[in-house]
Amino acid sequence: MYPLIRNRRLRSSEAIRSLVRETIISPSDFLVPLFVVEGKGIKEEIASMPNYYRLSLDNLTKEVKELWKMGLRSVLLFVKVPDNLKDNSGSEALNENGLMQLAIKTVKNACPEMLVMTDVALDPYSSYGHDGIVADGQILNDESVEVLAEMSVSHAKAGADFVAPSDMMDGRILSIREALEDEGYLNTGIMAYSAKYASAFYGPFRDALDSAPVDIKNVPKDKKTYQMDYANRFEAIRETQMDIEEGADIVMVKPGLCYLDIVREIKNEVDVPVAVYQVSGEYAMVKAAAEKGWLDHDAVMMEQLTAIKRAGANIIASYFAKDAVKLLG
C-alpha cells in the first residue's frame, strides 16, 4: 500500500483542507445566552466572565439588534432577580410583569423574528438558590414541577417561542407540555436540558445571577440530588429518551467539552435535534488562560466549538457566539 496512499495529500494546502472539511461552524449553529437585570442603562461586566454582561431592558434591545445584524437568530434568556423578590417557591417567576416576561417582550419588540428561548427553573427566584422548592433539607419534585409548568405558560403568554427547563426534576417535560397544550400554546416548543450534570463548571453563571445555593442549615449545598452524577453515562440516555417521550422537541447535554462522549452517544440514539451548552466555566477558563497569554484565544475557541459540533451538536449555546461569528467574518 505505502506509498500509493498518502493521507497528507488531503492536508497539503488550505484549499484542499477546506474542500474536505467535515465540520463547519456558522452563525445559525448558535443560541446566545443573555443575562437581564432590572434598571436602566445597565451593562455590567460579570467578574468571572470577561467581556460578558448583565443588561437592563434598554441595552437588551440594542444587543439583540446587534446580534440580528451579525446573523445570530436565537437567544436564551436568564434573569437576575433582586433578593427582596426571592422566596422558596419562586412566586416572582409567575409575575406577568416580571423581568423575564418583560425581557421576552423587549426582544420580540426589538426583533420580531428573533427566536426567544427562556430558562425555566426556580434558582434565580429562589431564596435558597435551588431549582425547586426546598423542604426539610430536600428539593420537592412534584410541587416544583407544578410551579415550573405555570412558569412555562407565563413565558409562552409573554411570547417565548421555546421554554428551556433546566431544573432536572422528574416528569417536568410532560407536565409542561400538558400545561402548554391546555392553555392553547400548541406551537410553543420545549428544549429540555435532558442530560444536565451536577458540574463545578457552572460557578461563573451563579456569580452572574447571584443564584448559588445558600449556605444555611437544612438547605442542600449542592444540586447533586437532581442534577446528574458526572460519572454516569447510561443515565444520560435514559433521561433523554424519557424527555422525548414526554414531549421534548430538542434535547440538551450540559456542560459541553467534558461531556462530548455523551453528546455523541445521544446523537446516535435519538432523532430530535441535540443542543450542547458550553457553560460559563468553560468560557471563563479560555478567557483567563488567554489573558495570561498562555493560550491563543481565537484558535482555542474555534477548536472547542468545532469539537462540540463534530461530536453531534445541532445547536450550540455559547457565550462565544459573538466572538466566533466575528471571526468567521
Q: Contact residues for ligand PBG (CB under 6 A)?
A: 119, 121, 123, 131, 166-167, 202, 205-206, 223, 279-280
In the complex, the smallest distance separating the C-beta of residue 17 from ligand PBG, rounded to whole angstroms, is 32
Q: Please report the DSSP string for 90-143 in residue order.
A: -GGGG-TTSHHHHHHHHHHHH-TTSEEEEEE-SGGGBTT--SSEEETTEEEHHH
Pick between residue 124 and residue 189 the one whose CB is nearest to ligand PBG: 124
Nearer Cβ to ligand PBG (58/210): 210
C-alpha cell at 206: 451563579
CA distances from 259 to 3, 80, 164 (A): 38, 27, 19
Closer residue to ligand PBG, CB minimum distance, 10 or 52: 52
Q: Which residues are catalytic?
A: 196, 254
Q: How far is the CB of 184 from ligand PBG (least distance, A)?
A: 27
Q: Which three cell numbers stand for residue 136?
A: 426539610
DSSP 200: G
CB of 61 to ligand PBG, least distance (A): 23
C-alpha–C-alpha distance, residues 11 and 186, integer Å: 49
Distances 249 to 66, 159, 193 between C-alpha atoms, Å:
28, 18, 11
Specify the residue, 106 or 318, whose C-beta has the smaller distance to ligand PBG: 318
* 239 labeled part of a ligand binding site: yes
The nearest distance, CB 87 to ligand PBG, in angstroms, is 17
Q: Which residues are annotated as a binding site?
A: 239
Q: Which residues are annotated as a binding site for Mg(2+)?
A: 239
